[in-house]
Amino acid sequence: MTDPVQPKPQFLWGLGALARRMAGTPDFAQPEARKRLGMFQGWLSVALSILLALTKGVLAWLSGSIALLADAVNNTADIVSSSVIALSFAWSRRPRDRGHPFGHGRIEHIATLVLSLALLAVGFDVGRAGIQRLLHPRPLEVSQVLLAVLFVTLLVKTWLALFTRTLARATRSDTLAADAWNHIFDILSTALVFLGLIGARLGVPSLDGWAGLGVAGFIFFTGARYLRSSINVLLGEAPDPALLVRIRAIVLAQAGVQGAHEVVINTYGDQLMVSLHIEVDAARTARDVHDLAERVERQIETDVPDSKVIIHVDPVDRSHPDFAAAERILHTFCTTEPRIEEFHDLRLDDTPSGFNLSADMMLQLNLPPAAQRDIETRAEKTLRDQLPRLGRVTLHRETSFSGAAGP
């Protein structure tokens, strides 16, 4: 199992003890702990964003800076996005019900989607305001007190970014990671505003407009990045290849398992739904095979936290005298045909005149039908050329749901 991720105390700055007390466990990645800490970070961000938005709004009114006003609007958007984050973690704590048998964990990804859309909208408005300021520059009233207060807001945002980034790593939350990057870009945008105001104080008012455009770019980039990430998850992106390798290694290490294929992983927040096929000796009893499947399920659920596993058993009869030759021929064909990822479920059944063969071939995604038929035809011809007693050949064409297949 993965060791608990311990947050660095220097980045929690006095809130480490409170965070640990709220989590109730040293491992912040535990489901209940990450939800509590996600809510805590969300409401903390709301409170600080309100303070920052009000402060920058007043400073923008006093100075007439369009870049500073844009930064205040950006912080106002943070109020909405942080509220969505906090509410999403609260909603994800709801237990499973009839309408949502896998729980409500994906609400976290919807929260990231809402956050990204809000950022894109704010980035567009800020960019438009920056262009208007470049077209119509105006002198600004920038005092040393204004710059000092803005610098303090920069320090507050820096602390919040570090705090959120630490919690994101410790809880392994994509939503908090997105919010941490949002805060980091807020720091950069405020720094641009700070430089623009210094330029205006030195008699270059156009820097205020350029600073506004820079802020818009940071905001838009962040929104686009997390829009893509959240959509990929909600659409059902391929699982982490390292996780697939890990699960296959766990399965193949169990005595009695001859092979594993068709590993499918669906993510529901912090819950993983895993299904796969295992190959076993066809001579084993049904009860024995059932016990083996349950043992493999328990082992995966133990080694991969927050996973629920369902296993389908494929019996393999290797006792047929031509089985080894057929397996070797198919293996050689698959290694020379890059469009085939693997084959499995090989069966040979005797007939009065010879034997019939069936197998499943895992093909690459998005192969046109003509290419699939070509592969099937050539595979059958290769088998018939080398197996003279071969009768009917049935090759089922499949595509991988995991994005990668094993040996």
d(CA 277, CA 401): 13
Q: Provide mean pLDDT across the span 62-68.
A: 76
297-324 pLDDT, tens digit per residue, is: 999 988 887 788 889 998 989 999 999 9
Q: Report in angstroms the alpha-carbon separations of 317 from 243, 326, 392.
A: 30, 13, 18
- Choice between 392 and 113, residue whose per-residue pLDDT is larger: 392
Residues in a beta bridge with 396: 360
d(CA 278, CA 313): 5
Note the pLDDT of residue 76.
Answer: 79
Q: Provide mean pLDDT across the span 271-299.
A: 89
With b for 16 or more beta-carbon neighbours within 10 A and e for fewer, the 304-320 pattern comes to beebbbebebbebeeeb
Quickly name the fold that domain 239-308 has: Alpha-Beta Plaits (3.30.70)
Which CATH architecture does the domain made up of 9-235 adopt? Up-down Bundle (1.20)
Note the pLDDT of residue 321.
Answer: 92
Note the pLDDT of residue 4.
Answer: 47
d(CA 129, CA 43): 29
Is the per-residue pLDDT at 358 higher than 50? Answer: yes
pLDDT, the chain, mean: 79
Q: Provide mean pLDDT across the span 120-135.
A: 75
Is the per-residue pLDDT at 391 higher than 90? Answer: yes
Q: Which of 37-46, 167-176, 398-407 has the lowest mean pLDDT?
A: 398-407
Is the per-residue pLDDT at 14 higher than 70? Answer: no
Q: Evaluate whether 77 touches 154 at the Cβ level (below 8 Å).
A: no
Residue with tokens 């071939």: 361
Instruction: Pick the most confident of 17-26, 124-133, 276-285, 361-370.
Output: 276-285
Is the per-residue pLDDT at 101 higher than 60? Answer: no
Q: Which of 13-22, 154-163, 357-366 has the lowest mean pLDDT?
A: 13-22
**Cα-flanking dihedrals φ and ψ of residue 401, to 5°?**
-90, -10
Structure tokens at 224: 């686009």
Query: Where do you find CATH 1.20.1510.10 in the chain?
Result: 9-235
108-120 pLDDT, tens digit per residue, is: 667 677 777 877 8
- Reported as a pLDDT band with limits 50, 70 and 90, residue 296 is very high
Q: Evaluate whether 385 touches 377 at the Cβ level (below 8 Å).
A: no
**Cα-flanking dihedrals φ and ψ of residue 357, to 5°?**
-130, 140
Sign of CA dihedral 187, 193, 196, 198: negative
Taking the mean position of all CA atoms in its chain, how far away is CA 172?
Answer: 10
Structure tokens at 54: 């009000």
- Choice between 101 and 79, residue whose per-residue pLDDT is larger: 79
For every residue of 1-34, DSSP letters joined together read -PPP-PPPHHHHTT-HHHHHHHH-SS-TTSHHHH
Query: Where do you find CATH 3.30.70.1350 in the chain?
Result: 239-308, 317-407
Q: Which CATH superfamily is domain 317-407 in?
A: Cation efflux protein, cytoplasmic domain (3.30.70.1350)
Residues in a beta bridge with 348: 357
Structure tokens at 76: 């106002």
Closest CA to 46 of 184, 228, 179: 179
Is the per-residue pLDDT at 357 higher than 90? Answer: yes
